[in-house]
Amino acid sequence: MKHLTLGAAALLATGGMAVAQDEVNLQLQWVTQSQFAGYYAALENGYYDEENLAVNIIPGGPDIAPPQVLAGGGADVMLNWMPSALAARENGLPVVNIAQPFVRSGLMLTCWADSGITEPADLAGHTVAHWFFGNEYPFLSWMSQLGIGVEGGDDGVTLLQAGFNVDPLLQRQADCMSTMTYNEYWQVIDAGVTPEELVTFRYEDFGVSTLEDGIWALEENLDDPEFVDRMARFVRASMRGWAWAAENPDEAAMIVLDYDETGAQTEEHQLRMMGEVALLVAGGDGRLDEAAYQRTVDTLLAGGSDPVISAAPEGAFTHVITDAALAE
């Protein structure tokens, strides 16, 4: 019966008739940029319309915590890094991963080569600038796995809370800085630094990567079959958007630029970002890889005296949505 009504709705939508569409408010992890190209592509190409969805994409920013927007009812669904979402879950906000478009992590540490750092163990005694606001968890658990403190001194890392730009590295206030393969790394390069002057450590290469940019919803909503159906359609259309964006990176980047209301993004940067982001989503169909989930949880639990989460989460993900989305 559900399929029947769904099919009828899709027919109506493609017929160009005005139908009451189901609303979905999506809270992004960060400002409008190619990191979210799949969603903008799905919106622009009408994939959401075809699923009878009216999707409202809400950009984030430096002072927006997506879990809080979700808790406050400002969004139905959010994009969030798994460390931050699991920490929120442990802090009393039961969020559930319903799909995982990003299969690889784009997080890395970028250091000046002349600082004498050749491997992560050399970080002791150096200064590292990092963003906080929930983004610091992967770094903190990596350091505690390496046995390096973050309280400064000769055997520890001196940690600085950086704003969301790469100035601390460029000005050498820090020897290393946290960067994303698709964003900040290129800001350093654009500032006139050559790749040879830098040493980079990708979390993926060291087995400490954690999942990024998953789709999360509130647990209580998942009891509602209507919500589950709506999310299945949302995930299906979003994954179509991602597949299209990965195949047409240049067009996808241009769509993102069109949707950037701030006008802050440049064409060159977005094209490059889209190329890098395509590598992170490649091979995924939205279904959460449980091995990657387990690695994330293990990394977060291995935080020594100060783990990000204190117990392995129960029910923090579900395949119900992706199974329904992929069934078609």
Partner 1 sequence: MSALTLRPNWAWPGVLICVVAVVWALDWRLAIIAAVWLIAWGINAILARNGTPGARILVPLIFGLTLLTLWEMAVRLYEVSPVILPAPTAIAVAFATNTATLWADFVQTILRGALPGYALGCGAAVLTALAIDRSRFLQKGLLPVGNFIAALPIVGTAPILVMWYGFGPSSKIAVVVAMVFFPMLVNAVQGLKESSAMQRDLMHTYAANYWQTLFKLRLPTALPFLFNGLKICSTLALIGAIVAEFFGSPTVGMGFRIKIEVGRLAMDMVWAEITVAALAGSGLYGLMALAERWLTFWHPSQRRG
- Per-residue binder mask for partner 1 (CB under 8 A), 207-246, x = binder: ----------------------------------------
Figure out which of the listed residues 15, 92, 192, 263 binds partner 1, where binding follows CB under 8 A.
92
Please identify, using beta-carbon distances, which residue of 15 and 72 lies nearer to partner 1.
72
Please identify, using beta-carbon distances, which residue of 72 and 225 lies nearer to partner 1.
72
Please identify, using beta-carbon distances, which residue of 68 and 115 lies nearer to partner 1.
68
The Cβ-side half-sphere exposure at 200, using a 13 Å CA radius, reads 19
- What's the CA gap between 28 and 60, in Å, rounded? 5
Please identify, using beta-carbon distances, which residue of 87 and 246 lies nearer to partner 1.
87
Burial class of 88 by CB neighbour count within 10 A (0 to 12, 13 to 18, 19+): buried
Residues 6+ away with beta carbon under 8 Å from 9: 19, 52
Figure out which of the listed residues 54, 71, 113, 146 binds partner 1, where binding follows CB under 8 A.
71
Select from 64-72, 105-113, 268-276, 296-304 the region that touches partner 1 (CB under 8 A). Answer: 64-72
* 313 is an interface residue for partner 1 by CB under 8 A: no
Sign of CA dihedral 10, 12, 17, 23: negative
Tell me how far apart the terminal alpha carbons of the chain are, to the nearest angstrom: 15
Figure out which of the listed residues 6, 19, 54, 65 binds partner 1, where binding follows CB under 8 A.
65
- What's the CA gap between 49 and 33, in Å, rounded? 22
* 88 is an interface residue for partner 1 by CB under 8 A: yes
Q: Which helix (H) or strand (E) holds 151?
A: none
- What's the CA gap between 106 and 110, in Å, rounded? 12
> What are the angstrom distances between the C-alpha of 82 and each of 105, 165, 211, 223, 294?
11, 23, 5, 22, 11
Please identify, using beta-carbon distances, which residue of 156 and 275 lies nearer to partner 1.
156
Figure out which of the listed residues 68, 115, 187, 200 binds partner 1, where binding follows CB under 8 A.
68
Figure out which of the listed residues 136, 175, 212, 260 binds partner 1, where binding follows CB under 8 A.
136
Site for partner 1 in 140-199 (CB under 8 A): 150, 158-163, 167-168, 171, 173
CB of 180 closer than 8 Å to CB of 277: no
- Per-residue binder mask for partner 1 (CB under 8 A), 116-135, x = binder: ----------------xxxx
CB of 271 closer than 8 Å to CB of 44: no
* 84 is an interface residue for partner 1 by CB under 8 A: yes
Binding site for partner 1 (CB under 8 A): 63, 65, 67-68, 71-72, 84, 87-88, 91-93, 132-136, 150, 158-163, 167-168, 171, 173
